[in-house]
Chains A and B, each alone.
Chain A
Amino acid sequence: MKRLLRQLRSYWEQFLTILCHELRIIFTDAGVMLILLFALLIYSTIYACAYAPEVVRRVPIGVIDQSHTATSRRLIAQLDASANLAIAYEPSDMEEAKRLFYARRIYGVVYIPADYEASLYAGEQATLALYADASYMLIYRQIFEGVATTVSQTGGEISLLRALDAGLDTPLPAPIIYQNHTLFNPYLGYATFLMPAVILTVIQQTLLIGVGMIGGTWREERLYRVLRPKTRRRISTLPLVVGRGVAYLLLYALTGGIALAILYPLFGYPMKGALGAVVCMVGLYTVACIALALALSTLFCRREESLLLLLWTSIPILLLSGVSFPKEGMPDWLYRAGLLLPSSHGIEGFVRIQTMGASLSEVFSEVKALLLLTLLYGGLACLSTHRIIRKEAS
């Protein structure tokens, strides 16, 4: 019993020593501070500002009007009135339109044929052609949306006019209306869509790289020996792992808190989740990332290794989460491999909580996965740290 108490007391003292020392390492190293302290806030702000306009409006397009009638001019005016479009040029033919296109003056062309008005007056179907550039996806979507909506409205007006013309004694077949409702991000804002994933990815990546840097420092400065408590042969594994982990948790509680409590509402991102659910999800996610980071950090012998070897993984990891590229579009095995990373679960769960208002029980599968990963990587971190301690002590 007494031995157990002595052991626990030693653990506690070691834990405190490690915690304080780790914080000191962080705050006396500019390179590490940049990554662990400032990167999250700097990147979140920069990305938020870059995507702040959220939607692309007034895409410049060209209209080739071969009809030159009041009806076609009316259509052009309606197209220009669309929020998504801006009629920038009226080229006289396709050749001129192509030149404007290559010079990036326009991103699409609407072609009104010569018989446009005539067809409509004759009660026939009129045809319009739209040439839209899909090499920029978002621009393409706005052009398509803007033109299709305008054409559909115009078509509706024409149907009504024809019905009035026909004198309404024949009962008009009642239309079946199709209505599309976009939930959770009704204006399809780009920042609203991507920022939750960006913030969480930055949390994971900065932890992996920053903790890895410190891991390299531990090896370079032989801290496994230096921080050995006087009364013991070697430093103990558990207080070391937990002490380092708590140091990072405190740090990210601060920076993550700023990002989510200040930045989020500042840029107007949806915050539909209950506070408890958000804190739970992000907190658990951070712990899982710290566990992975601690496990990986034992592999690095030099300070700069983690940055050199891990920086490139940031974009692949963001993609693997299935947010910016759907998981149904990637090979199944690759997506499953990505499930080994906290980011794939954390991002999914966080987006559903904040953007959709899901409750913790509705993201339970993600919570479960994060818990398992924490145990897995925490265990690996302890094993790997123990191995190094033994090696350094001999």
Chain B
Amino acid sequence: MASLRDSWAVTQREVERWRRSPIYLVLMLLLPLLSFAFFATLFHKGVAEGLPIAVVDEDHTSLSRSLVEMLSATPLAEVVYEPTSVMEAKRLMREGQIMAFVVVPDQFEAAIFANRQTAIHNFISGSNLSINGLLAKDIQVAAMTFIAGVEFQRLTQEGLPEQMALAEVMPIRLDTHTLFNPYLNYGYYLSPSFMPMMLLIFVVLATIFSIGVELKEGSAREWLTTARGNIEVALAGKLLPQTLLFSLVALVMLAVISGVVATPFQGSVGLIIVATLLLVASYQAIAIVIIALVANLRLSLSLGGGYSVLAFTFSGATFPVMAMWKPLQWLSRLFPFTYYTEISIDQLLRGTPALYSLPYLAAMALFLLLPLLALRRLKRVCNQPKFWGKS
């Protein structure tokens, strides 16, 4: 009971510190909400459209014009230039004006009528991966539709029945069912990763700061005294209001993801909430260990900040972990965010049965044990003046 009272005293002291120094609420409330607003705004449209491309029409016939029109009609691309040569098109690309150009060769229509082989070439920039896949596919569909149409017409004109002509033009039809992100919407796919990423950066920084600043200002002993020398109580009392506030912010984040960005929540909402709260707690745990071991505010912030920024890369949300080198695949397991990403994709996008996500939850929970290793060191650091005043 006494420790509960002491803990409450520490909590009151902490909240008083928040009141005196605006940086706490800026870090824990203002900036996280700002970052969520940023991503909600960024992904508001969700899909790109009107990507500028060019067509080099060396044929100038009605057939080539109908191809140009078909390309213009695609949802993603927009023909903004019709340069007279491939050299000019390449220059436009290097100037950043277009992302791809389609070349219709000379004698295109004539070749088709004379039954000679001809080709449509698409040159697309590979420097932007996020655009490349969708744009290439779009242009390909437009071109292939055009080609199929021309060949279909030729075959039916020669007297082949329609069904057979279709089978001739496209012997195997591939029915693609895109699972779990059917509109290939960036917002759905990326915001469940970016927003928690922001949250964890603030969790790490705020936790390190709230402990480290006591060392820098030399008030660490007073903090411990409020808990009557008991480091567990001191830590619990200090971090409790933070955990509560961050949990609230986390719930707001989930609301923004589901409400504003409108990412589907296909699976267990409860599981996602638990996972998000565990995310907050596990990164607090890691932060405690960092400041306890390093005992220097600025260096801890640099290290903690540096570690948290890496979380996104190793989460596999963009470049899959399974494609990385083996040692780095192991490294990715040292980030609670990696497990969170799996859970979030499972429960938000895929609607996976909860059972499959439980091992990831357990892995995240393991991180909560970390501070136990650092408690003694933290107590020593708080009590010895040689660790104070350093920033």
Binding site for B on A (CB under 8 A): 29-32, 34-35, 39, 42-43, 46-47, 49-53, 55-57, 102-104, 120, 123-141, 144, 147-148, 151, 154-155, 158-159, 162, 171, 173-188, 190, 192-194, 213, 303-305, 307-309, 311-312, 314-316, 319-320, 323-326, 328-331, 334, 348, 351-352, 355-359, 362-363, 365
Contacts and interface: CB of A to CB of B under 8 A. Distances in A.
Contacts of A120: 171-172
Contacts of B298: 29-32, 213, 303-304, 307
Given A181-B123, A312-B201, A34 B302 contact: yes
A55 B95 CA distance: 27
B178 A132 contact: yes
Interface of B: 23, 26-27, 31, 35, 38-39, 41-51, 91, 93-96, 111-112, 115-133, 136-137, 139-140, 143-144, 147, 150-151, 154-155, 158, 163-164, 166-168, 170-182, 184, 186, 189-190, 194, 197-198, 201-202, 205, 209, 296-299, 301-303, 305-306, 309-310, 312-314, 316-320, 322-325, 328, 342, 345-346, 349-350, 352-353, 356, 391
Nearest to B391: A303
A31 B302 contact: yes
Given A134-B189, A177-B119, A50 B130 contact: no
5 contacts: A127-B175, A134-B181, A304-B391, A307-B302, A326-B128
A124 B117 contact: no
Contact of A362 (B95, B209, B303, B328): B95
Contact of A183 (B44, B126, B350): B126
A130 B305 contact: no
Given A132-B177, A175-B151, A331-B41, A312 B302 contact: no
Contacts of B143: 178
A103 B170 CA distance: 35
Contacts of B127: 184-185, 192-193, 351-352, 355-356
Contacts of B133: 137, 141, 188
A47 B313 contact: yes
A49 B328 contact: yes
Nearest to B300: A31
Given A31-B299, A362-B91, A127 B173 contact: yes
Contacts of B49: 328-329
B131 A308 contact: no
B201 to A, nearest CB: 5
Contacts of A158: 171-172
Given A305-B23, A307-B205, A183 B155 contact: no
Contacts of A136: 316-317, 320, 345
A315 B125 contact: no
A224 B337 CA distance: 43
A169 B342 CA distance: 58
A56 B184 contact: no
B66 to A, nearest CB: 13
Nearest to B212: A304
A311 B204 CA distance: 11
B205 to A, nearest CB: 6
Nearest to B122: A180
A173 B180 CA distance: 40
A312 B150 contact: no
Contacts of B122: 178-181
Contacts of A133: 179-180, 350
Contacts of B131: 326
Contacts of A50: 313-314, 319, 324, 328
Contacts of A138: 318-320, 323
Contact of B182 (A56, A134, A178, A309): A134
Contact of A103 (B144, B154, B297, B356): B356
Contact of B120 (A159, A162, A178): A178
Max chain B CB contacts within 10 Å: which of A35, A126, A137? Answer: A137
A147 B174 contact: yes
Given A178-B122, A178-B140, A358-B95, A132 B319 contact: no
Given A188-B126, A326-B48, A130 B198 contact: no
Max chain A CB contacts within 10 Å: which of B137, B139, B154, B306? Answer: B306
A304 B301 CA distance: 8
Nearest to A329: B48
Contacts of A316: 35, 38-39, 42
Contact of B177 (A29, A46, A131, A184): A131
A320 B43 CA distance: 11
List of 6 A-B pairs having minimum Cβ-Cβ separation, nearest first: A185-B126, A31-B298, A329-B48, A134-B181, A358-B94, A177-B119
A324 to B, nearest CB: 6
A308 B177 contact: no
Contact of A304 (B45, B121, B174, B209): B209
